[in-house]
Structure 1
Amino acid sequence: MAEYLDQKKIEQLLRSNVPDIDEVIVEYVQGYLTDAAASIAMTGERDSSEDPVEDLIKPMLEDAARDELKVASLCEEFSRMLTEVEQQANPQKRSAISKLAAPVNMAAQLAQIDKAAKAAQSGTTDLAHAKGRSVASQVDVKKLRKAEARIAAKIEKRGVRSRYEASKLINENPMDDDDLLMRVNPILDYTLTRDKIKDVKLEGFDISYAGKRILTNSNLHLVFGRRYGLIGRNGIGKSTLLRNIAHRELAVPTYISILFVEQEMVGDDTSAIRSVLKADIFREQLLRDEAAINEELKKLEAPAPLDERGEVMSKHEIDAKKNEMGDRLNGVMTKLTEIESDKAESKAGEILNGLGFSSTDFQKPTRSFSGGWRMRLSLARALFCRPDLLLLDEPTNMLDIPAVVWLERYMKTWPSTLLVVSHDREFLDEVATDIVHQHSEQLDQYRGNFQSFWSTREERRKNQMREYESQMQYRAHLQEFIDRWRYNANRAAQAQMKIKILEKLPELEKPEDDKVVTFSFPDPESISPPVLYMVDLAFSYSEERKILESVNIDMQMDARVAIVGPNGAGKTTLLKLLIGKLEPTAGQVHRHGRLRVAYFSQHHVDQLDLKLTAVGHLKKMYPGNTDEEYRRHLGCFGLSGMTGLQEISTLSGGQKSRVTFAGLAVQQPHFLVLDEPTNHLDMESMDALTNALKLFKGGVVLVSHDERFIDSVCTEMWVCADKKVTRFAGEGIKDYKKMICPLEDQ
């Protein structure tokens, strides 16, 4: 290929125009131009559908160089070099080709811009999702912003008013680049899509992540208005599936609005209620349009209003402009009335109240809330927007029991489609109308809630096993006949027929056996009482922020205590006082001299070094053991084989929790103090943790909102509320739930 282009000349041009260029880019440009030249030489002409210099090389050089003029000149030279190759390969085209330094179809580009602008203005489609996909997850955000800015500039230059908001990067604060919470479909006027069929039918799709196959030839059918619970083991790829749907990597119709709540929102000076109201992009746009039209009408009331050219308008022009503005204003006001814009603030307030925000919290800036409360704000924004397809990833993780109950009741009346990842069986029983089970790179769908799924699944598995065994016997029978009579002249025809039958039989896979997950904590040596108690304890962060007063508790080695209460009442503070992370402002905490306490933090993931392996983390935090011992501890929590040698960043949320549990086991504690330990665990892991805690010979104190977990593990409950900690006199968590969330509140 060297005969077509001078490689040294290309390198000299690159280094002289872009002095700091990376060697990799130099080699890439040389190779790409050489391949393009060879293709031109073989075909005798350049491919009109693409321009390698403009489409690939120029954007790369623009990122590597500061001087855009030099880059433009350099790209012209590269285009000229390719043109010379084309002229040599096809002399008949010499005169026609030489007229252009680079073949650019400007008419097609301008037509495409016009089409995109008109579509954005009408609200019927968008640029990023024109083919049902978004490249947001594959393109560098800074490059995407540059590309969108160029598109917007071209649209503006052609005098077309655009309402393009596909990626929301151009007009927003840079911090919003990381805001993956609000994946809203870019269609602004959602009132125009109400009569469309909004079922989602995805067939034969594959999903991979980090080189690992997540789903293979899978199907997913979501009927509009039904609520789907997505379940499966930790690390199976449930969150990856949601992200692929949200980013439109799967072909969801573009008129279906999607919103994905995955992480906490970015905090800023916006008030809590304003952040919720802003989530409805369509309403915000209408309000901006209303304000702009009113401002325009106000200018027309001036003594001598000027037109766009700066000339005084005539009375006829003023009247015509007023009529035009009036018609636009009527259209905007009709839309605002249709979406009940005047009730928006009360709806937002109702949602915030239900999720635990007090009326005084409404005007607080979002940056003043902790991560858990900002997660609730993200959820509030989603519920306020009411998208056609709402995707939730473990929404109950940061909620207390009253908020979980409120969310269950709210979601029962959810009018559109819901797809929620959750391991809370009570929540799924209350909310889900269907269950989607992800396993073995496939998705199985079941009608009914989780309890119905649990009973149906085993029956389906038995039927699949019977069908599989029956087919295997039939295959064996056919194969035996073929082997016996294949070369017999009298039976050869029958043997051939059996071969054809065997070839046409569908390949059935043996149903997978459920893998049993086990957790194990080492039994501690016994210590004599008293073990752990508090006397007249009080704690406050300041004179104004008193958290606990007059707390008296006594725990022995057989303690199984659940601490419940509203968020912000001091449950986590109480745990930190128990383990000595905080010192009381009054009173006393007594711990036995030989007492070892292991603490599982609600925010344990933040304490992990994601660049380390699981073994490396244990070695760093709890030195003194061999790698084999650390791997054995990890194996006690389902992290066997090579998983312990993977970087923690590649593990799922549940697997990260298991790494933390393995760290607790290394400490050989007498007491386990657990703050929301089930948040990221799958159902099998929750069962394994429940059994491990039942068998553990030491004491257990935990904070959790999971009813089933509390009922299974704990023998007593303490209520932390109103600065007090009192023993609950009822029969269990269900009685407590009825007490704080009476049915008449529905």
Structure 2
Amino acid sequence: MGSCREYIKNVFPSIDEDFRQYVESVLETSADEFEDGEEVYDAIGAVLHEVSADKTEEDIKNICEELLNLLRPEKSTSKTNGNLRILDGPIHLGSMAENQENNVEEIKSIWVAQRDDTLKVNAKKLEKAQAKLQEKQEKRGKEIKMIVPPKLQTASASQVINKKDSKLEAKGSNRAQDIRIENFDIAYGDKVLLQGADITLAFGRRYGLVGRNGLGKSTLLNMISSGNLKIPSHISILHVEQEVIGDETLALDSVLECDTVRQSLLEKEKQIGAAINSGSNDPDLNTQLSEVYIQLQNIEADKAPAKASIILAGLGFTSQMQQNPTKTFSGGWRMRLALARALFSRPDLLLLDEPTNMLDIKAIIWLETYLQNWPTTLLVVSHDRNFLDTVPTDILYLHSQRIEPYRGNYEQFEKTKTEKLKNQQREYDAQLQQRQHVQEFIDRFRYNANRAALVQSKIKMLEKMPELKPLVKETEVVLRLPETEALSPPILQINEVMFYYNKDKVIFSNVNLGATMESRICIVGDNGAGKTTLLKIIMGILSPTSGSRHVHRNLKFGYFSQHHVDQLDMNVNSVELLQQQFPGKPIEEYRRQLGSFGVSGDLALQTVSSLSGGQKSRVAFASMCMGRPNFLVLDEPTNHLDIETIEALGKAIKKYTGGVILVSHDERLIRMVTNELWHCGNSTVKSIEGGFDEYRKIVEQELEAANAK
């Protein structure tokens, strides 16, 4: 029995003492009667399941089998005998049969396994033990709920309303086009994001909202669009954050529906026309119809389909795609459709959150040009450096729980901010030096009677001197990719490759490409041209329809997909996530790996669901690199990353000793790291001589040709 006790302790180290004693008592009292593992399972299986939620039914049955072997070793050699009892010695069945009347019990004992009813499991005791265990688990669950924060936290906002604006709003006479949100706070759960902040949006200006991941940029947009932060009620707002719902509505009609005035006039025209055609004698119908025509003419309703079509074409929708139902489009294309609807409807305040994430380079260039002539107010969150240099007239810099406005684009903002920080540092150093000089004088002549009046004057001067706080600089973002060992070429080669999902549409053919450990290759091309498909062929996830793929036997890919972030387990923290994917390592190693990608301290212990998009991306990078790959394949890695992290990623890729192939639309990153450009298009893949500058020229020429049509 001692060996059973030790085994139970080893298998169930956290078993409650009462349950352990109960299990041992059942085993001890019924040891001689257990014929197989199933009977042991019937007796104690229910209790063992209660104390080990992580073990399957098969696990518990195996444990019961092992307990039987420890209790009755002879049973471990008799599994082939089924339920038959092992005979201790030879039996002469003939002589037993002659005396069967006197030996009924002896014969019975050969074939029948009897059990004393007093040795059976006590059902009441088992029920009591289970009830006690359930009570303890419920109590423990309540304690955990009190300690662990809710997984789905919500944002909240408060603000001070200007009395004058409040009176104008109440009277309905507020016609101001500028938006002022003063002295407001925003929190996400218990975390304060903004405190005592102010923001002014002048009508007709384009604002880029920038700042580190997790500081509350997207939350601010949500608070404005949801009405949690009050702005004048006559100002229309449109926030592009959710994809269009897929139904039978055609893509072009979905955009046209946004013009509610036009839609209502067309509906009214239809109703009046139907009434006239049905023979109505109402003399006012013709007058009403004329008024509708005048209103339609005033809003240039006849030009609306052409305007909507131009916007859709700019965002990548072909003429055929514009006539397709919205339900036929993927999530990415429905997000483009949502953006097209917003651009067509032209609200007083347009809120865009990372609009370039869903676009290819051609669509980004078109959008940059289109928004430069945006007639109303624009507030955009973006981490695309080139986009921020092209579109905004102003930058709003979110840091230290406040918002600081700067005139100009991102490049001007950086210069101004750098100069401002230098001036603040000089001012702080000068005042510190003056303070030290005055303090030295006070300390030197404090006890000199002849200088007493002067010392007192200096003390008062020191007290009145405004105290400047030392500048708190944002910590530099550093990403550390794993070290790799050199591999002798050839590393990666694809020859004469053709691929299609169905014969009617060949994705590409006659592709001949190669890569080395020094490669920094970027794949560009329109959405749907086959960039992600090419990556999957390179990694061996997809097999080419024809042609060959050759890779070094020691090549180990690290793959960051577009949907890597969405596939993370949102219900655990970052450390637990790595534990699930790479079990058996010390906690310190998981923490160190996450720290290499800027997820450290308490951030690593927050549930993944509570992290910002950029922070989730960093966790995904840490997970990808935990396996120490020597060749990285990155599909849109900059989505959700802030500008500083994109810069850090670029520096990390440049230092990385393995090969890199990436698909990206971030022009700055492409220019920063790549030494080769592959272009997917026209059913093939070709290397572009002249790099990104040459590719941009090609795209701009295509856009000019399309506009000319």
TM-score normalised to the size of structure 1? 0.67
CA distance in 2, matches of 1:715, 1:448: 32
Q: One-letter code of the match for 2:404? A: D
Q: How do residues 111-510 of structure 1 correspond to structure 2 at under 5 angstroms?
A: 196-295=175-274, 301-302=279-280, 318-319=282-283, 322=284, 329-470=289-430, 502=463, 508-510=468-470
Given that 1:707 and 1:734 are in contact with CA atoms closer than 8 Å, whether structure 2 keeps it comes out as: no
1:234-282 CA deviation, whole Å, 9 max, x = no partner? 1111101111111122221111111111232222221111111112233
Structure 1 residues 417 and 326, CA gap change in structure 2 (3 angstroms): same
Q: One-letter code of the match for 1:645? A: L
Task: Find the partner of 1:719 among 651, 675, 679.
Answer: 679
Which residue is equivalent to 1:546?
Answer: 506
Structure 1 residues 467 and 255, CA gap change in structure 2 (3 angstroms): farther
**SS of the residue aligned with 2:558?**
strand
Structure 1 residues 557 and 481, CA gap change in structure 2 (3 angstroms): closer
Q: One-letter code of the match for 1:245? A: I
Given that 1:481 and 1:495 are in contact with CA atoms closer than 8 Å, whether structure 2 keeps it comes out as: no
CA distance in 1, matches of 2:249, 2:646: 38
Q: How big is the shift at 1:345?
A: 0.7
Q: How big is the shift at 1:336?
A: 2.6
CA distance in 2, matches of 1:562, 1:511: 39
**SS of the residue aligned with 2:677?**
strand
Given that 1:137 and 1:247 are in contact with CA atoms closer than 8 Å, whether structure 2 keeps it comes out as: no
Q: One-letter code of the match for 1:442? A: R
My pick for the range that moved more, 608-617 or 378-387, is: 608-617
CA distance in 2, matches of 1:663, 1:648: 13
CA distance in 2, matches of 1:570, 1:691: 28
Q: How do residues 621-640 of structure 1 correspond to structure 2 at under 5 angstroms?
A: 621-640=581-600
Which residue is equivalent to 2:700?
Answer: 741
Structure 1 residues 493 and 526, CA gap change in structure 2 (3 angstroms): closer
Given that 1:475 and 1:502 are in contact with CA atoms closer than 8 Å, whether structure 2 keeps it comes out as: no
**SS of the residue aligned with 1:604?**
coil
1:652 aligns with 2:652: no
1:509-531 CA deviation, whole Å, 9 max, x = no partner? 43321311111111122322222
* 5+ residue gaps, structure 2: 1-153, 158-171
Which residue is equivalent to 1:596?
Answer: 556
My pick for the range that moved more, 273-282 or 567-576, is: 273-282
Which residue is equivalent to 2:142?
Answer: none
Q: How big is the shift at 1:633?
A: 0.7
CA distance in 1, matches of 2:263, 2:456: 73
**SS of the residue aligned with 1:697?**
coil
Q: One-letter code of the match for 1:694? A: K
CA distance in 2, matches of 1:586, 1:223: 59
Q: Number of aligned residue pairs: give it.
A: 537
* 5+ residue gaps, structure 1: 1-135, 140-191, 304-317
CA distance in 2, matches of 1:330, 1:496: 86
Given that 1:533 and 1:553 are in contact with CA atoms closer than 8 Å, whether structure 2 keeps it comes out as: yes
Given that 1:434 and 1:449 are in contact with CA atoms closer than 8 Å, whether structure 2 keeps it comes out as: yes
Structure 1 residues 580 and 328, CA gap change in structure 2 (3 angstroms): same
1:692-746 CA deviation, whole Å, 9 max, x = no partner? 111111000001111111111111111111111111112x212210122138568
Given that 2:156 and 2:188 are in contact with CA atoms closer than 8 Å, whether structure 1 keeps it comes out as: no
Structure 1 residues 528 and 501, CA gap change in structure 2 (3 angstroms): closer
CA distance in 2, matches of 1:456, 1:465: 14
**SS of the residue aligned with 2:473?**
coil
Structure 1 residues 579 and 468, CA gap change in structure 2 (3 angstroms): same
Q: One-letter code of the match for 2:231? A: V
Which residue is equivalent to 1:611?
Answer: 571
Structure 1 residues 266 and 485, CA gap change in structure 2 (3 angstroms): farther
Which residue is equivalent to 1:703?
Answer: 663
CA distance in 2, matches of 1:497, 1:240: 49
Given that 1:531 and 1:555 are in contact with CA atoms closer than 8 Å, whether structure 2 keeps it comes out as: yes
1:522-570 CA deviation, whole Å, 9 max, x = no partner? 1122322222111111111112232121111121211111111111110
Given that 2:206 and 2:378 are in contact with CA atoms closer than 8 Å, whether structure 1 keeps it comes out as: yes
1:338-370 CA deviation, whole Å, 9 max, x = no partner? 221111111000000011110000111112111
CA distance in 2, matches of 1:298, 1:247: 45
CA distance in 2, matches of 1:270, 1:476: 74
Task: Find the partner of 1:671 among 631, 637, 644.
Answer: 631
Given that 2:156 and 2:228 are in contact with CA atoms closer than 8 Å, whether structure 1 keeps it comes out as: no
Given that 1:354 and 1:403 are in contact with CA atoms closer than 8 Å, whether structure 2 keeps it comes out as: yes
Which residue is equivalent to 1:561?
Answer: 521
CA distance in 1, matches of 2:268, 2:446: 83
My pick for the range that moved more, 507-516 or 692-701, is: 507-516
Which residue is equivalent to 1:513?
Answer: 473
**SS of the residue aligned with 2:220?**
helix
CA RMSD after TM alignment: 3.1
CA distance in 1, matches of 2:704, 2:506: 33
Q: How big is the shift at 1:657?
A: 0.7
1:108-131 CA deviation, whole Å, 9 max, x = no partner? xxxxxxxxxxxxxxxxxxxxxxxx
Structure 1 residues 211 and 137, CA gap change in structure 2 (3 angstroms): closer
Between the aligned residues of both structures, percent identity stands at 50
Given that 2:435 and 2:462 are in contact with CA atoms closer than 8 Å, whether structure 1 keeps it comes out as: no
**SS of the residue aligned with 2:487?**
coil
Q: How big is the shift at 1:493?
A: 13
**SS of the residue aligned with 1:201?**
strand
CA distance in 1, matches of 2:347, 2:471: 37
Q: How big is the shift at 1:499?
A: 6.3
Q: One-letter code of the match for 2:693? A: K
Which residue is equivalent to 1:13?
Answer: none
Which residue is equivalent to 2:482?
Answer: 522
Structure 1 residues 349 and 481, CA gap change in structure 2 (3 angstroms): same
TM-score normalised to the size of structure 2? 0.70
**SS of the residue aligned with 2:339?**
helix
Structure 1 residues 535 and 437, CA gap change in structure 2 (3 angstroms): same
CA distance in 2, matches of 1:475, 1:330: 81
Given that 2:155 and 2:188 are in contact with CA atoms closer than 8 Å, whether structure 1 keeps it comes out as: no
Given that 1:263 and 1:375 are in contact with CA atoms closer than 8 Å, whether structure 2 keeps it comes out as: yes
**SS of the residue aligned with 2:358?**
coil
**SS of the residue aligned with 1:590?**
strand
